[in-house]
Amino acid sequence: MTGRPGGLRRQQGAVAVTVALCLLFLLGFMGLALDFGRLFVVRGELQTAVDSCALAAVRELDGQGDALVRASSAGRAVGNANAVNFQSASWAGRGQLVDADVQFLDRDLMQTAQPAQALYARCRHDHAAAGAWLLPALQAFWGNASPAVSMRLSAQATATRLSAQTACPLPIALRPVAGSSAPHYGLSAGQWVAVVGAKGLAPGGQIGWANLDGSNNAAQTERELLGYCGVRIGDRLGTPGAQASVTDVWNLRFGLHKNNPPAEAVGLLDATGYAYTAKNWPSQRNALRGAKPAGAHASAANYLTKSVAQASCADTSTSVSLCESITGLKLSGAYKSLVPPGPAYGGASRIVVVPVVNDAARVIDYACMLMLQPMSTPMIDVQLEYIGNAGDSASPCFTVGLPGGSAGPRVATLVR
């Protein structure tokens, strides 16, 4: 009888040791669960970042000499805008995307440094920020002199551009030159094409107002100038008579407005408001990237150059009247305010998608064009420059939406 309590005490001690060991194993499994859960979360954030990088980079692959520089810059900037390592804006200080993380591939998926051959953009990054929480404590408990645990993560994404099912064009329509066919419909790159103010389908080789939703309501044209997506090949467009208010939205892309620009116009302002007319660009061709023609105004340079400079209309700071004297446009009767040059100008909203229609006003294709001039009224003709077919792999025009269309502007799409 006297030995029993001591035996119980010895058994109780054994149970305590067993429970402690079990808790240690449970702690280990909990550490694995938490640490690998953390790994899974950070891996997802990193994948989102490289996906965004690839999609942004591939939009810049237009075959021009500086395409890879622009693509690397865009991919890096957009990718790094994503928060990684439990939403850390700095990626926990462990390094973000750099130019070397953005690569370009040709049609055979071989790496290339030639802008004309680059059809794919690939972003990949190794990240060492996924440190463990509980496993280091267990390592220290077992006497490991170096308890820190580091897990390296790697993610990559590859994107290209494919024809979209739907497009987001301007509410205007291009009629092909009589007897012409795809892909250029009788036009040549650099050619200036008139937007005629009259109601109805424009003559062959010109552009007229066209409601994308098929209606003939002039007020709808203004709404669609602010942004309208969902146009498909085969859609029938309306033929409205454009009302005066469409000029307000059109001119916002050039930095011109009557009073304060409407809130919905945020993001419409182009990288430059510099306007091109027969007066300041006498050749009336190749304003997008061409050489300055003979007889051009001293302020003149092509659109890409002016975009880098973030120049206002005719490089006149905020003077609408001086812009008029340089370009020959008549604007100041209504448009007294001009956005000053500088960082307010951004994007490429003057490079636009334009539907190509047949005689029945049905969409058969899309052109990529540059808006050249602001307008004083919708009844006067303004001009756009033909860049090329919007479905060309080198086209600067792109759209949003799902890939899988048969023609038209391309959408950036992840393929791997």
Q: Give how far the C-alpha of residue 201 lies from the chain's centroid of Cα atoms, to the nearest Å.
A: 31
Instruction: Specify whether 131 is located in the same domain as 238.
Output: no
Q: How many domains does the chain have?
A: 2
Who's near 275: CB < 8 A, 6+ residues apart?
254, 313, 314, 323, 327, 329, 372, 373, 374
Instruction: Specify whether 295 is located in the same domain as 360.
Output: yes
Instruction: Specify whether 12 is located in the same domain as 129.
Output: yes
Predicted structure pTM score: 0.80
**Domain extent at residue 46:** 4-163
| Residue range 176-186: mean pLDDT, rounded | 95
Look at residue 344 in the predicted model and tell me its pLDDT.
82
Q: Which of 85-94, 226-235, 258-267, 283-292 has the lowest mean pLDDT?
A: 258-267
Instruction: Specify whether 260 is located in the same domain as 383.
Output: yes
Calculate the average pLDDT of the chain: 85
Instruction: Specify whether 149 is located in the same domain as 239.
Output: no
Instruction: Specify whether 156 is located in the same domain as 113.
Output: yes
Among 105, 134, 163, the domain boundary falls at: 163
Instruction: Specify whether 122 is located in the same domain as 250.
Output: no
Instruction: Specify whether 245 is located in the same domain as 318.
Output: yes
Look at residue 146 in the predicted model and tell me its pLDDT.
47
Instruction: Specify whether 185 is located in the same domain as 148.
Output: no
72-121 pLDDT per residue, tens: 999 999 999 999 988 888 888 888 999 999 999 999 999 999 999 999 99
* In the chain, % of residues over pLDDT 90: 52
Instruction: Specify whether 218 is located in the same domain as 246.
Output: yes
127-162 pLDDT per residue, tens: 875 555 565 555 555 555 444 455 678 899 999 999
Instruction: Specify whether 183 is located in the same domain as 137.
Output: no
Model confidence at 2, in pLDDT bands (50, 70, 90)?
low
Among 105, 140, 163, the domain boundary falls at: 163
Among 134, 163, 192, the domain boundary falls at: 163
Query: What number of other Cβ atoms are within 10 A of residue 346's Cβ?
Result: 14
Instruction: Specify whether 105 is located in the same domain as 181.
Output: no
